[in-house]
Structure 1
Amino acid sequence: MSLDVSKTGLLGEAHDVQHRTVALRRDLHRHPEIGLNLPHARDVVLAALSDLPLQVHLGRSTSSVVAVLDGGRPGPTVLLRGDMDALPLHEDTGLAFASTVPGAMHACGHDTHVAMLASAARILAGRRDELAGRVLFMFQPGEEGWHGARYMIDEGLLDRTGPAGRPEVAYALHISATLPAGEIHVRPGPLMAAADVIKVTVTGRGGHASAPHDALDPVPAAAAMVGALQTMITRRLDAHQPAVLTVAHIRAGTTNNIIPETAFLEGTLRSLSPQTRERAHEEIRRICTHTALAHGCTAEVEIEVGYPVTVNTGPAVSTLTDVCAALLGRDRVVTMPTPIMGAEDFSYVLEKVPGAMAFLGGCPPGTDPATAPPNHSNRVVFDEAAMATGVAVYAALALDALR
């Protein structure tokens, strides 16, 4: 049975610290950092936590921060995560606190995640005596393709409080500019896709563009691969196991009258099951190799394995749904009908620990969620008022797990 969080006053406490949440978020937003080394974000987090009764551990290979809050009584460990890194993007929002770093922007809301988690740590520290167990706060760099969660796990994240203190449940929130502000969207099972990078180099024989018969043109071979790969998705993979393959980058040649020696394709594969992922890898290699041969060329196929599928466990989703319904009202908790094909490296944590990730609506006031600039847009804006909801949800999930 879940804690009756509706009577805990957590939303009120979240609004009481909203000024701290906003200030921290705006500091991070002005100073975005990319990748695994985020010294400013690390220092901002450390400053925000400095007056709280936490055991703080810094990453060795990255700028990660792990903070542990021990409760007043023995009990399990719950993990709460916030990612810290930004994207290589020029900001065009016009916000007063817009990025001051050329070519970098917090376009995915990770600045809000950090701020929400730090404020949740403050609220939970004030309720330390109510906790039977401990909270592990995971401030993670390198989510945007850098495998930051995997680095943290390899450095002992899950054993930070000893073998007996390994987390029993893990939660993460991800803000979305295209969902109504303050709503929580979640589903059991696959939530987000596995993501792999496909790189294909087609090699032929260069020559004069007026005499293609004297050359082996790699461009038609590369073009044929694009169509063949899409046909593979619909004809070789189970339609009940979704996959998306997009060729997003093609490069060949230098000018109009030279047949190049090579052509290059690059794209992404998204899948929702290990079986579909493995089958797609086999088909991609087969199709590209033999399509090249059919044109007299050769193909070198490289598949960079990325994040695994993000899988929410049913009990954790049920708990999150009940806690959020009690805290926010049942109408503000939405069960997603389908996964989304984006990828997320919280998947590494969920491979080790039962848990759930949920989306927090952050569409700005007066904006239609259907037309709002989405995450990863150079114009994306998030409703800062929604952060109070996220703070309260994080705190409520921990209190429920450690009641």
Structure 2
Amino acid sequence: MRAQFEAAAEELRDDLVAVRRELHEAVEVGLDLPQTQTILLRELDGLGLEISRGKSLSSITAVLRGGRPGPVVLLRGDMDGLPIAEATGLPFASTSGAMHACGHDLHMAGVLGAARLLADRREELPGTVVFMFQPGEEGQAGGRLMIDEGVLDAAGERPVAAYALHVDSATPRGRLVTREGTMMASASALRMTLRGTGGHAAFPQLAIDPVPVAAQLILAVQAFAARRLPATDQAVLSITRLRSDSEAGNVLSATVDIEANIRTLSTATLDTVREHLPALLAGIAEANGCTLDTEFIASYPVTYNDPTETREVLAALDELVGAERVTRLEAPSMASEDFSYVLQEVPGTLVFVGAAPDSGPLPLHSEHALFDDAVLPLQATVLAELAWRRLERG
């Protein structure tokens, strides 16, 4: 049943834009976001929600119990920014050296809007909605920490579904994008310390210089992706950090630190990388008289949209905005999301919302990233509608 939230969401437009811009200017990074948490608690006050705060992070869990019996649905909004100095020139730009360059300020405002829409119709609501406000999405696994602290059991029973929206500054405004199955890649890292002996740059024959060996390792990483992984199961391996310990132009390095970022779309491919790549690289190092220490760091798992839930979501989106504004992705994104931790536990769907400004598309995670906050009523409507329909289904 369509709940018809559009008109009420439009009435919230000015409030949602104002709080989004306040959150944008007050951006914080990581797991400890006291100022952001304070703003959200202020906005949630008076809605009649059961609110709890995180213990190890500045999270907020808010539970709305409807007037009719039914299951539980979860809506997620991430809270943290990035350590990027903003260069947008906006009147509400952050000046702290951090920036909401991934749109999390819009995510929070959108979930706040959905909370207000659903709370206003509490007596009709056929079940319970959990609003999950989560720090530490940008690499600190805040979603995993919130699960460990009990967010999925906050209502007394597990959600039957979970939904999240993610704005995109490179997608036309108001377009909704998702797909069944794998939506986004896993993210992991391989950290390496390559050790030689160092020495005088004039006499490399008297030393074991790890720098040219590091070059061999970098090429081997690229060759591994091209020749050891199936072309039908996409993976991206990138060298993201490279640093030697030499502080002078005439000194050969004794050690080189290297980090590879690893993106895969399946557990099998990730297992292949984890099992075989370190051994290959260690062999190259040894053949050149060096030693190699490696550390594999598993970060976010694959973001997997449950096919059954996502078919229902797509049908709802088609009805809400028209099929011409709904894109079914042909292939997953190689970016990652820690909403994946929730989707490992609860069937659900992540949807991208186009928020490109009139000036044209811009990349996420850029100091120039701009988002058109005119999409906020749409975000609130979609989240409220998806929650309502899923509760109606029982």
Give the alignment's TM-score, normalised by structure 2: 0.98
Answer yes or no: is the 8 Å Cα contact 2:169–2:371 preserved in 1: yes
**Could you list the per-position Cα deviations for residues 340-374 of structure 1 after superposition, in whole angstroms to 9, with x for gaps in the alignment?**
1111100000000000101000001242xxxx221
Structure 2, gaps ≥5 residues long: none
**Could you list the per-position Cα deviations for residues 285-341 of structure 1 after superposition, in whole angstroms to 9, with x for gaps in the alignment?**
112201101111010011111011100000111111111111111111110111111
Q: Structure 1: how far apart are the matches of 2:252 and 2:344?
A: 48
Work out which of the residue numbers 232, 238, 241 in structure 1 matches 2:233. 241
Q: Structure 1: how far apart are the matches of 2:182 and 2:148?
A: 24
| Aligned counterpart, 1:112 | 106
Answer yes or no: is the 8 Å Cα contact 1:10–1:395 preserved in 2: yes
Answer yes or no: is the 8 Å Cα contact 1:229–1:287 preserved in 2: no
Q: Structure 2: how far apart are the matches of 1:251 and 1:58?
A: 40
Amino acid at match of 1:20: D
| Aligned counterpart, 2:151 | 157
Which stretches of structure 1, 4 residues or longer, exceed 4 Å deviation after superposition?
none
Answer yes or no: is the 8 Å Cα contact 2:86–2:95 preserved in 1: no
Tell me which moved more, 354-363 or 286-295.
286-295
Q: Structure 1: how far apart are the matches of 2:11 and 2:260?
A: 46
Q: Structure 2: how far apart are the matches of 1:17 and 1:234?
A: 50
Tell me which moved more, 247-256 or 209-218.
247-256
Q: Structure 2: how far apart are the matches of 1:301 and 1:329?
A: 50
| Aligned counterpart, 2:218 | 226
| Aligned counterpart, 1:271 | 264
The CA RMSD over aligned residues, in Å, is 1.0
| Aligned counterpart, 2:368 | 379
Q: Structure 2: how far apart are the matches of 1:48 and 1:119?
A: 10
Answer yes or no: is the 8 Å Cα contact 1:288–1:301 preserved in 2: no
Q: Identical aligned pairs, as a percentage?
A: 45
Answer yes or no: is the 8 Å Cα contact 2:16–2:109 preserved in 1: yes
Paired residue secondary structure (2:373): coil
Amino acid at match of 2:378: T
Are residues 1:309 and 2:298 paired? Answer: no
Q: Structure 2: how far apart are the matches of 1:215 and 1:366?
A: 55
Q: Structure 2: how far apart are the matches of 1:115 and 1:86?
A: 14
Paired residue secondary structure (2:367): coil
| Shift of residue 107, structure 1, vs aligned partner | 0.4
Answer yes or no: is the 8 Å Cα contact 1:207–1:214 preserved in 2: yes
Amino acid at match of 1:94: G
Q: Structure 1: how far apart are the matches of 2:53 and 2:282?
A: 46
| Shift of residue 399, structure 1, vs aligned partner | 1.2
- The size of the alignment, in residue pairs, is 391
Paired residue secondary structure (2:32): coil
Answer yes or no: is the 8 Å Cα contact 1:225–1:287 preserved in 2: no
Amino acid at match of 1:280: V
Give the alignment's TM-score, normalised by structure 1: 0.95
Q: Structure 2: how far apart are the matches of 1:85 and 1:292?
A: 39
Answer yes or no: is the 8 Å Cα contact 1:190–1:339 preserved in 2: yes
Amino acid at match of 1:380: A
| Shift of residue 100, structure 1, vs aligned partner | 2.8
| Aligned counterpart, 1:35 | 30
**Could you list the per-position Cα deviations for residues 126-156 of structure 1 after superposition, in whole angstroms to 9, with x for gaps in the alignment?**
1112211100000001100011011110011
Paired residue secondary structure (1:166): coil
